[in-house]
Amino acid sequence: MDYDFDNESKKPTLKNILIEVFIWAAMIGAVIFFAYFIVYYCVEKTNVIGDSMESTLSADKGIIINKFVYHVKDPKRFDVIVFKQSGKEHSYYNIKRIIGLPGERLLIKDDNIYINGEIIEDIVNVEPMVNYGLADEEIVLEDNEYFVLGDNRNNSEDSRFASIGNITRDDIIGKAVIQLSPFNFISKLNLKDPKK
């Protein structure tokens, strides 16, 4: 009686089965970890609520938020940000444009926005403001505060009003980067013509 050594080596051993199970478990764990990391730290989809960002973003439009970008760099003037204020009455995300940066002095007067005494030019098309709110007197932003405005300046609850006020860095969820329908980069929407 001959012994078949080839057939014996093809039989799975308990050790091989355990290794294969461990590899599959590690792969499933890695996929779950990366999915969690992407959703929690990198990107999120939300819808625009209200018309405070018209004509840049319309109500109910889907947008993608880059939640990772502000972990590696600071928010900049004119970034469109998504934020949620802890302890405030609203439970939804707000979407506004950064105008004032930490440490700056801001004043709105004669439909001009003054930063540290200098007029800054809006990069987007907006209507002249009717109500300057709290910004009709100089506002000094603290080291972690941002002053935000909606692009629909006469129909926006923003930093001009006590209900929103200045936004802290901890309030910021991320940068609004993509409008889904029609697809476009938000930084390219509603810009002033530089030739005018």
In a domain, 142, yes or no: yes
Please tell me which residue in 52, 67, 156, 159 is annotated as part of the active site: 52
Are 48 and 24 found together in one domain? no
Please tell me which residue in 96, 156, 159, 175 is annotated as part of the active site: 96
Rounded CA separation 84/171 (Å): 5
Are 70 and 157 found together in one domain? yes
Tens of pLDDT, residue by residue over 153-187, are 999 999 999 989 999 999 999 999 999 999 999 99
In a domain, 148, yes or no: yes
Q: Mark whether 175 is an active-site residue.
A: no
Which residues of the chain fall below pLDDT 50? Answer: none
In a domain, 195, yes or no: no
State residue 2's pLDDT score.
Answer: 55
Domain count, the chain: 2
Q: Mark whether 52 is an active-site residue.
A: yes
Are 165 and 114 found together in one domain? yes
Are 80 and 111 found together in one domain? yes
- Written as six digits, the tokens of 7 are 């057939």
Are 51 and 109 found together in one domain? yes
Give the domain range for residue 25: 5-40
State residue 87's pLDDT score.
Answer: 65
State residue 3's pLDDT score.
Answer: 53
